[in-house]
């Protein structure tokens, strides 16, 4: 069963969040999986692990408490937000694989624009090298399989984001084996609101978008590539 792509345009965050919850609560084993692609007006969203001290100065930007995983992030114009509403049981894979597939879709999307995306062990999302966004050189602290090479930072310590910028964030929820919430890819944004928070709870984490690293691409084109990569990689 293929995933239906629904392009919602620019929509307010709160009613979209409520619509995701309602869709998930009402779905049956026969309900088709869908992928909502949208853009939000400026908003901070707090995950279940979110701490108030990670938001220092929201000013006129609303803060919405949510039931997704993770901590605080920012959504705003110029960012492609994707909400996969998928029955994992029917798809045949578990949450860890689901996260991997989303990240892989983002990596493939970035590759389409000449950018190499990286995973950082212990820090979900996708990162780029600020000095050389196209570099294929592997990160020392990339995720490693058990028994393979050790990660080069102390267990229990925060990842080292030196030289890296976060370009895509994940925040997920699974209810009755069905997913909602999702991910966001920064395309061409006003990045200033990220400076008023510790993104995802990390004080030393720099947030970037495609525009900042020299990639000129429109929101619609980025949304088209991302939505098709997600639909492909999240298929059963």
Q: Which residues are catalytic?
A: 200
How many other β-carbons are positioned within 10 Å of the β-carbon of residue 73?
Answer: 27
Q: Which of 182, 184, 190, 181 has the alpha carbon at shortest distance from 168?
A: 184
| 210, two tokens | 């495609």
Positive or negative CA dihedral for 110, 113, 114, 115?
negative
| Phi (first) and psi of residue 120, to 5 degrees | -120, 130
Task: Measure Cα distances from 209 to 53, 92, 127 in Å.
Answer: 25, 33, 10
Q: Which residues of 188-203 are buried (b: 16+ CB within 10 A; e: fewer)?
A: bbebebbeebbbbbbe
């Amino acid at each position: 069963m293929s995933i239906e792509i629904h392009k919602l345009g620019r929509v307010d965050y709160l009613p979209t969040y409520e619509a995701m919850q309602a869709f998930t609560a009402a779905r049956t084993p026969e309900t088709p999986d869908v992928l909502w692609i949208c853009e939000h007006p400026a908003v901070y969203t707090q995950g279940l692990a979110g701490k108030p001290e990670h938001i220092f100065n929201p000013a006129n930007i609303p803060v919405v408490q949510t039931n997704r995983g993770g901590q605080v992030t920012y959504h705003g114009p110029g960012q492609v937000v994707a909400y996969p509403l998928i029955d994992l049981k029917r798809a045949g894979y578990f949450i860890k694989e689901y996260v991997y597939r989303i990240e892989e879709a983002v990596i493939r999307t970035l590759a389409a624009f000449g950018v190499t995306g990286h995973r950082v062990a212990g820090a979900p999302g996708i990162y780029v090298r600020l000095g050389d966004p196209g570099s294929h050189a592997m990160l020392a602290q990339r995720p490693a399989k058990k028994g393979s090479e050790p990660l080069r930072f102390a267990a229990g310590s925060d990842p080292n984001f030196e030289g890296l910028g976060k370009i895509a964030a994940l925040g997920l929820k699974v209810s009755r084996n069905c997913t909602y919430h999702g991910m966001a890819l920064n395309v061409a944004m006003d990045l200033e609101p990220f400076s008023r928070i510790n993104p995802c709870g990390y004080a030393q984490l720099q947030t970037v978008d495609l525009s900042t690293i020299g990639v000129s691409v429109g929101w619609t084109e980025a949304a088209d590539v991302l939505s098709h990569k997600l639909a492909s990689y999240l298929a059963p």
